């Protein structure tokens, strides 16, 4: 793994598998009565969120705290950014305090990569504009592998990424504005899944070059009976998706996972969504609460997966053995 995590494309199947395996150990830590290990004691992690977030920010901060790192929280709205300070000056100021990692969310695609060029610290992309959201893709892959392992009566750590081979996944909705879709498709395809994008033409990216997909469909009803995973995306109205649609009601009529549509899925098929969910738009309230809906399990797994990412970036080789001790001991 490189010193920063900016894109799923940097990892490849091997890198993804390594993170999933280390996540297994941290998921075990999360089940302990005191879910904390000293692996990153003395390290400082800054969470720098220049855009709204509930789960991603809290998940990263929880992950860093469970690794015993010191966590600094930066909020653009209450900082000197309001006084006109540039992102670069802000970041260099924070870095001067002695920081080991920046966890960055920013409305502009490429901002975390730029930041990585300004500081010596590791940078984790926690979502940049329409570009990527790699840890979301990793926690989604972790969740799928966990459920498939449970179904086979296996421990998750005994299940390799072979379980993704040929897995039929539909990514449904506002693909054009979704960093989750981009990272998710890259990760799932790297592991061997067959991903179909399902969306109206106006919500697809202008070019699908570089998207390793099996196909595109405009007919959700036709796709549903052949799926293993139905992955729904939120309509990103804050990024202008509303202007690409006649109305949200029409979107729901054609692409919403209503109870009637969910009944077309095979019995074993899983329903996923990165959150925040808009009940009644891309997913019906009763479908979001079905046992096959993994929305909250995705959130729960996010902490272990982000612990793994921070650990792999920051702990260094000399601490690999320490992890074994602390995790198994
Ligand atoms: C996503 C995001 O912010 O990209 N949420 C998340 O991080 N879980 C998806 C979204 O906002 O729809």
**What pLDDT, in 10s, does the model give residues 45-94?**
999 999 989 999 999 999 999 999 999 999 877 677 777 789 999 999 99
- Is 237 a catalytic site residue? no
Q: What share of the chain is helix, strand, coil (3-state, %, to 5)?
A: 50, 15, 35
What's the pLDDT score for residue 257? 98
Q: Which residues line ligand 1 (CB under 6 A)?
A: 55-56, 127, 133, 136, 179-180, 234, 236, 274-275
First to last CA, the chain: 26
Find the angle CA(210)-CA(216)-CA(221) to the nearest 5 degrees: 155
Question: Does residue 237 have a pLDDT over 90?
Answer: no
Q: How many CA atoms lie within 13 A of 307 on its CB side?
A: 30
The pLDDT, as a whole number, for residue 1 is 36
Mean pLDDT of 24-43: 97
| pLDDT tier, 239 (very low <50, low <70, confident <90, very high otherwise) | confident
Q: Which of 131, 274, 279, 301 to mutate to test the pocket of ligand 1 (most atoms within 8 A of CB)?
A: 274
What does the pLDDT average to over 239-259? 90
| pLDDT(319) > 80 | no
Q: In the predicted model, what is the mean pLDDT of the chain?
A: 93
Instruction: Give which of 86, 140, 133 is closest to 105, Cα–Cα.
Output: 133
CA distance 273 to 306: 18
Domains 8-131+299-322 and 134-295 equal at CATH topology level: yes
Q: Give the model's confidence band at 125: pLDDT under 50 very low, under 70 low, under 90 confident, else very high.
A: very high
Token couple for 81 = 């950014």
pLDDT at site 290? 97
| Distance from Cα 210 to the centre of ligand 1, integer Å | 22
Domain boundaries, the chain: 8-131+299-322, 134-295
CB 180 within 8 A of CB 136: yes
132, 180, 232: which to mutate for ligand 1, most atoms within 8 A of CB?
180
Q: What is the pLDDT of residue 317?
A: 53
To the query of whether residue 55 is one of the catalytic residues in this protein, the response is yes
Q: What are the tens digits of pLDDT across the range 188-219?
A: 999 999 999 999 999 999 999 999 999 999 99
Is the pLDDT at 236 greater than 60? The verdict is yes
Of all atoms in ligand 1, which is nearest to the CA of residue 55? Answer: 8
Rounded to an integer, the average pLDDT of 168-184 is: 97
The one catalytic residue in 43, 57, 105, 106 is 105
Residue with token string 């670069």: 88
Of 242 and 126, the one with more pLDDT: 126
CATH 3.40.50.1370 given to domain 134-295: yes
Using the predicted structure, report yes or no on whether residue 328 has a pLDDT greater than 60. Answer: no
Query: CB–CB of 183/136 below 8 Å?
Result: yes
Q: Which atom belonging to ligand 1 lies closest to the Cα atom of 105?
A: 3
**Which CATH architecture group holds 8-131+299-322?**
3-Layer(aba) Sandwich (3.40)
Secondary element (H or E) of residue 136: helix 134-151
Whole-number percent of the chain with pLDDT over 70: 95
Distance 136 CA to ligand 1 centre (A): 8
Q: What mean pLDDT comes out for the span 147-162?
A: 95
Q: Burial letters for 247-286: b for 16+ Cβ neighbours within 10 Å, e otherwise?
A: ebeebbeebbbbeebbebbeeebbbbbbbebbeebbbbee
> Which tokens is 294 given?
């993994």
Question: What DSSP assignment string belongs to 20-52?
Answer: HHHHHHHHHHHTSSS----TTTT-EEEEEESS-
In this prediction, residue 121 carries a pLDDT of: 97
Report the pLDDT value the prediction gives residue 220, as an integer from 0 to 100. Answer: 98
What backbone torsions phi and psi does residue 67 show, to the nearest 5 degrees?
A: -95, 5
Answer yes or no: are the C-beta atoms of 187 and 194 closer than 8 Å: no
Q: What percent of the chain has pLDDT over 90?
A: 87
Q: Is 273 a catalytic residue?
A: no
Element (H, E) at 172: strand 168-172
């Amino acid at each position: 793994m490189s010193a920063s995590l900016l894109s799923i494309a940097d990892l490849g199947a091997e890198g993804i598998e390594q993170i999933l395996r280390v996540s297994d150990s941290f998921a075990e830590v999360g089940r302990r009565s005191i879910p904390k290990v000293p692996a990153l004691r003395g390290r400082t992690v800054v969470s720098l969120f220049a855009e709204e977030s509930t789960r991603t920010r809290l998940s990263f901060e929880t992950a860093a705290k469970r690794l015993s790192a010191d966590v600094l929280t930066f909020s653009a709205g209450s900082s000197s950014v309001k006084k006109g300070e540039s992102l670069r000056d802000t970041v260099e100021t924070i870095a001067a305090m002695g920081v080991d990692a920046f966890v960055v969310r920013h409305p502009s695609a490429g901002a975390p990569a730029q930041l990585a060029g300004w500081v010596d610290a590791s940078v984790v992309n926690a979502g940049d504009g329409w570009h990527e959201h790699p840890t979301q893709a990793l926690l989604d892959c972790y969740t799928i592998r966990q459920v498939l392992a449970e179904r086979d009566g296996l421990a998750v750590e005994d299940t390799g990424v072979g379980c993704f081979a040929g897995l039929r996944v539909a990514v449904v909705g506002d693909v054009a504005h979704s960093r989750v879709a981009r990272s998710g498709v890259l990760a799932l395809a790297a592991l061997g899944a067959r991903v179909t994008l399902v969306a109206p033409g106006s919500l697809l990216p202008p070019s699908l070059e570089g998207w390793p997909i099996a196909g595109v469909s405009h007919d959700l009803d036709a796709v549903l009976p052949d799926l293993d995973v139905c992955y729904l995306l939120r309509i990103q109205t804050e990024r202008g998706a509303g202007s690409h649609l006649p109305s949200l009601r029409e979107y729901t009529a054609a692409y919403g996972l209503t109870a009637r549509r969910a009944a077309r899925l095979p019995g074993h098929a899983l329903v996923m969504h990165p959150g925040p969910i808009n009940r009644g738009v891309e997913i019906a309230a009763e479908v979001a609460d079905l046992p096959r809906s993994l929305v909250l399990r995705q959130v729960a797994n996010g902490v272990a997966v982000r612990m793994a990412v921070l650990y792999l970036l920051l702990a260094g080789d000399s601490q690999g053995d320490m992890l074994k001790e602390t995790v198994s001991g």
